[in-house]
Structure 1
Amino acid sequence: MPAHPVFMDYDTPACQAVGQRIRAGAPFVYGLTNYVAAPLSANVLLAVGAAPAIGAAPGWPDGFGARAGAMWVNAAGLINGSVEDMRTAIAAANTAGVPWVLDPVAMGAGVTGYDALIRTLAAGGPAVIRGNASEIMALAGGMGTARGVETTATIAQAVPSGLTLAHRQKAIVAISGPEDHILTPDGQQVVIPGGHRLLATVTGAGCALGGVIAAALAVTPVGPERLMAVATAHALYARAAEMAARNAQGTASFATGFVDALSQLQQVA
């Protein structure tokens, strides 16, 4: 039976500790993502104290995949990259023991060939899979309900599928939404409340979250502490969104304020 959910936020001392480790360790995080999300992803990672490299320049997937503290693979990176680059990076990371995050963007949106490629990436053994409710449900084997890159399912609908996926993949599954749910293979559940609806209006915000999860994994040993690492990334995101929304005049000022807030939170972490 699944465990009762545990609620956490960025004031949780264990979350503060992970944030401090990211700032102190300045981990090298490698990412394969798309050109739409890359600038925000880089700025978000710099704001939290990580050192990002993004893209598939010659030799990077093999070299950086093996040398990074952690890596994230955004399936929408296939817009401007190749599945071979992703497979090379994943193989290099796995050989070197580098944990990596899979973001199955637009999984279940009705593009059969694309969905099949994401399934081959998932078979590579990610430490964490993060996505919205529709993406997680589709990757778990349920009906595809996504509308492009947007979810049409609720968190409540997705949690059972997320638990199934976590158990099957032996990976942590993180579902983003009005409240974020972090699920483990043995049925543990952490819920991160808060955040703000404006996050959904910033292109690449969800994609960049995969990078922050990777940064937290990079400073966390293998084992049960990884659950707190993933929870911290979501809690940091939620708190920064709340801070940014206080003075936002619209979506553009919110996006700038969000990056500022991440930096401010990490400066005092």
Structure 2
Amino acid sequence: MSTEIEHAVRSLERLREQSPLVHNITNVVVTNFTANGLYALGASPVMAYAKEEVADMAKIAGALVLNIGTLTYDEVESMLIAGKSANEHGVPIIFDPVGAGATPYRTKTARQIVKELDIAIIRGNAAEIANVIGETWMIKGVDAGEGSGDPVVLARNAAKALQTTIVITGKEDVITDGDTTYIVQNGHPILTKVTGTGCLLSSVVGAFAAIEKDLVMASLSALVSYEVAAEIAARKSEVEGPGSFQIEFLNQLSKVSSEDVRKLGKIIKV
């Protein structure tokens, strides 16, 4: 049993013991699913968007998650206010640059956020991460398109350029701070058939970052726990399809055990 898997197991157990408060400024498509997913796993979600209160909410949270899936001018203003408060009070910020590269405004906003705030972890697909740092990678709406680059190289380049921890999710997931790099080989293709699974993952990363100072290990623990739960849910709902998977996934987020993570977790250090 690898030390990384054992670390993930301990982190999952500690998360459920501590039930960290995760402040989400996320998109309208995924708010309910994100809240229910965090509750199922054992964290405590709060969704606060008003600029009049986000600074106060961010400073008492264990982590702040910023997601630009359905961005508006007012929401971006709230993100920057909350982010500056989080930075001031030592609260880690997880940024999900949804659809960066799809439109000039979206790309500009993603780059503004990483420039003005000290981001602990950025979680996105390869196209989103590439567009944040000005590299070329096709994007289709908010989904990654074809790309000829190496996600590991891209992740390392982004981590060094932005001085942060990068998580690129796809068929295989890459986690790196530019020096230490892991690949997670868990998950299931049906995750791409349910909207919001990537956004929920970003918030789950936030939950682990709230209880784990090592941001690479927090990200690793989050991905392994989340994707092992997805594998179990996919197996239990394979006959019914995506609708049943979504419900079963919430069930398995609440049930995924230390033994499940030990038995099914697949991590490679590169």
* Equivalent-residue separation in structure 1 for 2:2 and 2:170 (angstroms): 15
Deviations 1:124-162 (A, max 9, x none): 121000001111111121124110011114596332222
What's 1:3 paired with?
none
- Code of the aligned partner of 2:256: L
Q: Which amino acid aligns with 2:111?
A: R
CA gap of 1:71–1:266, structure 2 versus 1, over 3 A, is: farther
> Of the candidates 223, 229, 236, which is equivalent to residue 240 of structure 1?
229
User: Which is worse superposed, 111-120 or 52-61?
Assistant: 52-61
Match of 1:175 in 2: 168
Residues 175-222 of structure 1: CA distance to partner in whole angstroms, max 9, x if unpaired? Answer: 001111101132x2111102100000111110011110010011113x
When residues 47 and 239 of structure 1 are mapped into structure 2, their CA distance, relative to the original with a 3 A threshold, is: same
Whole-angstrom distance in 2 between the partners of 1:179 and 1:89? 32
Structure 1 SS opposite 2:139: coil
How far apart are 1:102 and its partner, in Å?
A: 0.5
Residues 32, 77 of structure 1: 8 Å contact kept: no
Measure the CA separation in 1 of the matches of 2:198 and 2:176. Answer: 18
Shift of 1:8: 7.2
Amino acid of the structure 1 residue aligned with 2:242: T
Contact map agreement 1:46 1:52 (CA 8 A) in 2: yes
Identity %: 32
- 1:118 aligned partner, one-letter code: A
Report the AA paired with residue 227 of structure 2. A
Aligned-residue CA RMSD (Å): 2.2
Counterpart for residue 95 of structure 1: 88
* 1:117 pairs with 2:109: yes
Are residues 1:27 and 2:17 paired?
no
Alignment-derived partner of residue 195 in structure 1: 187
Aligned residues of 1:8 and 1:235 also touching (Cα < 8 A):
no
Q: Tell me which amino acid in the other structure corresponds to 1:255.
A: Q
Q: 1:205 maps to what in 2?
A: 197
The answer on 1:107 being equivalent to 2:100 is yes
What are the ranges of 5 or more consecutive residues in structure 2 without an aligned counterpart? Answer: 262-270
Task: Name stretches of at least 5 consecutive residues in structure 1 with no aligned partner.
Answer: 1-6
- d(CA) in 2 for partners of 1:114 and 1:19? 34
* Residue 112 of structure 1: how far off its partner (Å): 0.8
**Alpha carbons of structure 1 residues 266 and 121: separation in structure 2 relative to 1, 3 Å:** farther
Deviation at 1:247, TM superposition (A): 2.0
3-state DSSP class of the match of 1:53? strand
2:144 is paired with a residue whose SS is: coil
In structure 1, what is the equivalent of residue 266 of structure 2? none
Pairing 1:60-79 to 2, within 5 Å after superposition: 60-79=53-72
Q: How far apart in 2 are the matches of 1:264 and 1:59?
A: 37
* Residues 1:253 and 2:244 aligned together: yes
The aligned residue for residue 231 of structure 1 is: 220
Instruction: Return the offset for 1:59.
Output: 3.1
CA contact (8 A) 2:51 2:77 kept: no
Q: So what's the TM-score if we normalise by structure 2?
A: 0.89
Which AA in structure 2 matches 1:201? K
Q: How many angstroms apart in 2 are the aligned matches of 1:196 and 1:60?
A: 38
Please state whether the residue corresponding to 1:82 is helix, strand or coil. helix
Q: 1:104 to 1:216 in 2, by over 3 A?
A: same
Correspondence 1:106-145 to 2 at 5 A: 106-109=99-102, 111-123=103-115, 124-145=117-138
Q: What corresponds to 2:144 in structure 1?
A: 151
Q: What's the offset of the Cα at 1:81?
A: 5.0
Q: Which has the higher contact order (CA 8 A, sep 6+)?
A: 1
Give the alignment's TM-score, normalised by structure 1.
0.90
* CA displacement at 1:105 relative to structure 2: 0.3
Alpha-carbon spacing, 1:95–1:155, altered in 2? closer, same or farther (3 Å): farther
Q: Name the structure 1 match of 2:209.
A: 217
